[in-house]
């Protein structure tokens, strides 16, 4: 089982999600971010998004 928490990428948020694969966890994380952190994502350039995606991938840890 893999786990992602918003806090692990420095966001003040209690959201935690789990999944069987990195892709699944990432999908859930970005679905959450699109709703809860729309304000953060809105102002992001494509390269900032790429950086964020990398940070999210790096913070997905086995539990």
Could you give the CA distance from residue 28 to residue 32 in angstroms, rounded to a whole number?
6
**Cβ atoms of residues 41 and 7 within 8 Å:** no
Asked if residue 15 binds Zn ion (CB under 5 A), the reply is yes
Bridge partners of 17? 4
**Cβ atoms of residues 25 and 5 within 8 Å:** no
Asked if residue 6 binds Zn ion (CB under 5 A), the reply is yes
In the complex, least distance from residue 29 CB atom to Zn ion, rounded to whole angstroms: 8
The piece of 13-21, 23-31, 39-47, 55-63 that touches Zn ion (CB under 5 A) is 13-21
Among positions 2, 13, 16, 41, the unique one binding Zn ion when judged by CB under 5 A? 13
Chain residues that interact with Zn ion, rule: CB under 5 A:
6, 13, 15, 36
């Amino acid at each position: 089982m893999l786990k992602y928490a918003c806090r692990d990428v420095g966001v003040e948020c209690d959201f935690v999600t789990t999944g069987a694969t990195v892709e699944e966890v990432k999908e859930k994380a970005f679905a959450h971010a699109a709703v809860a952190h729309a304000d953060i994502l809105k102002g992001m350039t494509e390269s900032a998004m790429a950086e964020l995606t990398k940070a999210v991938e790096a913070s997905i840890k086995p539990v």
